[in-house]
Chain A
């Protein structure tokens, strides 16, 4: 199918996933943490499409379709949570989320 073997795309996917994972640990701003989640989901999408192309199967693209739908709903919910939390204080970071002990 494609002129490049799947491994090249998988390498990009692995890099995106690892960067998103690192960002989730490093950053404290919930909005940026959501963006890191989006990076990880995009890594998943790249992997699914690459595997699908390598296998000559549409299943990977179907999975990406569902991941896209779910990513959209997750962002909507996450931003709603941030807006709800922002009523209590402005400039919320995950470190301010400290009333609970964990």
Chain B
């Protein structure tokens, strides 16, 4: 179901017209994302939750495509679906925690009842804020031609130019971030220190 729909979006967005089609795809993507999110928090089995998460990630990728963020849509697939969701499933299987969780226990008094209320309150607050300011939102023009989205160069090149000029320092720092995450994760999950001592002495 996913692939044909994406092909449709891909072809439609650059051309004019077809407003209805975009709206339909938007509704499908939005429903996919939201239903998947509800599935994540509602399913007892972590494996099901991970699959629902995958559905949300696909929905979000579709939303990116609709807004012509093609590179991000691809990265969303590769990084999120390809790496993160798989990592989740891998750890669930590794730990053997694919058994159901008892949703009936109440750890903190009234938390089960309170949390959805808080969630609905948060959502309605955000909705109302966006509604109040919807007509002006995103109205300010951008003057730097390299940063505008309709400057005629491809999505990926525009992103690359900005990343390696305005944000070059942040990009370099993420290298340290990724390295340290790998070193730390390995150090944390290596099982027994004395065992490792023996192997390194050999």
Contact = CB atoms under 8 A, between A and B. Distances in A.
Given A55-B140, A83-B91, A3 B75 contact: no
A66 B138 CA distance: 21
A71 B84 CA distance: 9
Looking at A75, A77, A92, the one whose CB has the most chain B CB atoms below 10 A away is: A75
Contacts of B75: 65, 68
Chain B interface residue count: which class? 35 or more
A80 B33 CA distance: 27
A81 B6 CA distance: 36
A87 B182 CA distance: 20
Interface string B88-119: 10011011110101000101000110111011
Nearest to B180: A73
B88 A75 contact: yes
**Chain B interface SS verdict (over half):** helix
Interface string B124-139: 0011001100100111
Contact of A14 (B72, B88, B91, B123): B123
Contacts of A82: 91, 95
Contacts of A83: 91, 94-95, 188-189
A23 B122 contact: no
Contact of A68 (B23, B76, B127): B76
Contacts of A69: 174, 177-178
Interface of A: 1-12, 14-23, 25-29, 31-32, 34-36, 38-39, 42, 45-46, 49-59, 61-62, 64-66, 68-73, 75-77, 79-84, 86-87, 90-95
20 contacts: A5-B138, A17-B126, A18-B126, A26-B115, A28-B107, A31-B92, A39-B37, A42-B60, A42-B80, A45-B76, A49-B64, A54-B139, A58-B149, A62-B163, A62-B166, A72-B79, A73-B178, A79-B88, A83-B189, A91-B96
